């Protein structure tokens, strides 16, 4: 007889009744091949004693097995596994492991490559991230108040039904007005769609623009998740140098004389990861090249709203008169990372196609949340949030840079960023960033190890270090730990 005492476990604290737990255990033994058709099951009295439950509970379990078609009762012989069931090859009764999962029993496409996971910061108490907003500053209470208010109104119930994949019309109108007065970008509602953050916009643009083998120009140093997205589309990355004026457009022009590309991906405002801003001369050159060589420009403008020392340059999309630019922005980067809302603009037909593609993986966004956010824009709450945050982040940037200069002058080289939420920090070559990250974690501080910013052409001993999410006391504590870790290495 099988070792039923160990094979059938019951949990008296579970919500599922005991006889159903026993029934399900037998089903598992049958489907795994441990029990085969015509195998006899132990008598109710014997099984009850083995697993420590009432005999009537076992009888109820057997009745359930019979009613579901897994077993049959043969008079004066007992309960048997149903003889009509197909034979099953026996599966070892061991827990699944990573190796078992990788072996698999069916073929599937895994062309994702070594994509790094997101930073896991929800359970971290002290972190130097790579430049995220301070979620404590976001007017979440106001947003939730509007969310609840809308959900209680009779017309708010309609927002719980299916809607367009373009996103909430009210939010598109609100963002349309915001883009016009904040960055001189004039678009119509049918040129805007709401996305779940800028990453969805990048993915949709890549899928529509790129076929396997197509070329796309990106920075030698670039946003890693964008690179991963383009590779996943089968595109070939053409690496172009980035200096203190942004992507080198003269180098791009020479490359275009040798090979054809379908698109250029740029972050002209606070380039990721280096934080540099593309000069206006290079912006105009890039637009001229796009017209001449008929390629699309994917402009990722993830944190336009945070610029400290002077007025930010207008986006490429604002001065594009030939409809070459697909403009992608994020509210997640300015409000809270987990609030997955961004936007994408471009030619109406392109945006419509992007909405159709989006429906294949995500029917629509959270319309009720989008409508609530539209109210915050329309009532000026988002403008007030940006002004408050800008003042606080400017002070935090200054304090952070002062500490870096005073305490890390011989180990970290950096330039004070004009905007954004992080600093591009070049560490002394003798500092092992992986060891630094591991040692900091043991002391209660999260900081990355620099691997996210490296690619086949770019491997600096550097990484972004964010200041915006740290209050003054947290900043002092975090950098104090980092200093002790670095000088101990």
DSSP labels for 438-488?
Answer: HHHHHTT-EE--SGGG-BTTB--SEEEEE-TT--HHHHHHHHHHHHHHHHH
The per-residue pLDDT for range 47-87, each reduced to its tens digit, is 999 999 999 999 999 999 999 999 999 998 999 999 999 98
Residue with tokens 């430049």: 131
Q: Which of 358-367, 424-433, 439-448 has the lowest mean pLDDT?
A: 358-367
Domain architecture of the chain: domains with CATH: 4-81 (1.10.10.10), 127-132+384-488 (3.90.1150.10), 165-377 (3.40.640.10)
The per-residue pLDDT for range 284-342, each reduced to its tens digit, is 999 999 999 999 999 999 888 888 887 788 999 999 989 999 999 998 878 887 788 99
Question: What is the mean pLDDT of the segment spanning 1-18?
Answer: 90
The per-residue pLDDT for range 122-136, each reduced to its tens digit, is 666 899 999 999 999
Q: Which of 33-47, 161-175, 344-358 has the lowest mean pLDDT?
A: 161-175
Strands 246-247 and 263-266: unpaired
Q: What predicted TM-score, i.e. pTM, was given to this entire model? A: 0.82
**pLDDT at residue number 123:** 65
The per-residue pLDDT for range 173-190, each reduced to its tens digit, is 999 999 999 989 999 999
Residue with tokens 């026996």: 90
pLDDT band for 155, please (50, 70, 90 cuts): confident
Question: What is the mean pLDDT of the segment spanning 263-268?
Answer: 97
Contact 417, 398 (CB under 8 A): no
Question: What is the mean pLDDT of the segment spanning 441-462?
Answer: 93
C-alpha triplet 472, 474, 480: angle, nearest 5°: 100
């Amino acid at each position: 007889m099988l070792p039923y005492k160990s094979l059938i476990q019951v949990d008296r604290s579970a919500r599922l009744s005991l006889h159903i737990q026993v029934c399900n255990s037998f089903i598992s033994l049958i489907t795994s091949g441990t029990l085969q058709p015509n195998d006899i099951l132990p008598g109710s009295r014997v099984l009850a004693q083995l697993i420590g439950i009432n005999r009537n509970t076992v009888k109820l379990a057997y009745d359930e097995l019979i009613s579901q078609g897994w077993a049959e009762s043969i008079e004066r012989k007992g309960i048997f596994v149903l003889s009509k069931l197909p034979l099953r090859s026996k599966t070892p009764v061991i827990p699944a492991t990573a190796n078992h999962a990788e072996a698999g029993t069916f073929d599937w496409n895994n062309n994702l490559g070594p994509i790094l996971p997101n930073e896991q910061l929800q359970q971290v108490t002290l972190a130097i991230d790579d430049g995220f907003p301070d979620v404590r500053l976001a007017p979440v209470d106001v947003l939730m108040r509007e969310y609840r208010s809308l959900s209680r109104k009779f017309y708010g119930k309609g927002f719980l039904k299916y809607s367009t994949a373009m996103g909430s019309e009210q939010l598109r109108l609100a963002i349309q007005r915001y883009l016009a007065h904040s960055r001189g970008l004039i678009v119509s509602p049918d040129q805007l769609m709401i996305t779940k953050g800028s990453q969805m916009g990048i993915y949709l643009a890549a899928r529509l623009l790129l076929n396997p083998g197509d070329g796309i120009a990106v920075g030698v140093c670039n946003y890693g998740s964008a690179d991963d997205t383009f590779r996943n589309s089968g595109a070939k990355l053409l690496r172009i140098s980035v200096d203190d004026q942004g992507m080198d457009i003269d180098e791009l022009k020479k490359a275009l004389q040798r090979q054809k590309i379908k698109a250029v991906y740029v972050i002209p405002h606070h380039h990721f990861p280096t934080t540099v801003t593309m000069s206006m001369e290079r912006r105009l050159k890039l637009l001229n090249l796009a017209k001449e060589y008929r390629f699309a420009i994917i402009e990722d403008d993830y944190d336009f709203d945070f610029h400290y020392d002077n007025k930010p340059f207008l986006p490429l999309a604002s001065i594009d008169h030939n409809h070459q630019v697909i403009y992608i922005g994020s509210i997640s980067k300015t409000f809270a990372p987990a609030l997955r809302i961004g936007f994408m603009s471009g030619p109406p037909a392109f945006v419509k196609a992007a909405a159709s593609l989006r429906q294949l993986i995500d029917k629509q966004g959270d319309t009720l949340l989008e409508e609530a956010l539209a109210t915050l824009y329309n009532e000026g709450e988002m403008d007030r949030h940006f002004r408050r945050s800008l003042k606080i982040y400017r002070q935090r940037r200054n304090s952070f840079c002062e500490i870096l200069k005073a305490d890390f002058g011989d180990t970290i080289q950096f330039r004070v960023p004009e905007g954004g939420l992080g600093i591009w920090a070049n560490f002394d070559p003798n500092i092992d960033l992986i060891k630094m990250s591991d040692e900091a974690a043991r002391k209660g501080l999260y900081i990355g190890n620099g691997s996210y910013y490296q690619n086949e052409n770019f491997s600096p001993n550097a990484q972004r270090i964010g200041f915006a999410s740290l209050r003054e006391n947290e900043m002092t504590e975090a950098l104090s730990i980092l200093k002790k870790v670095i000088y101990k290495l």
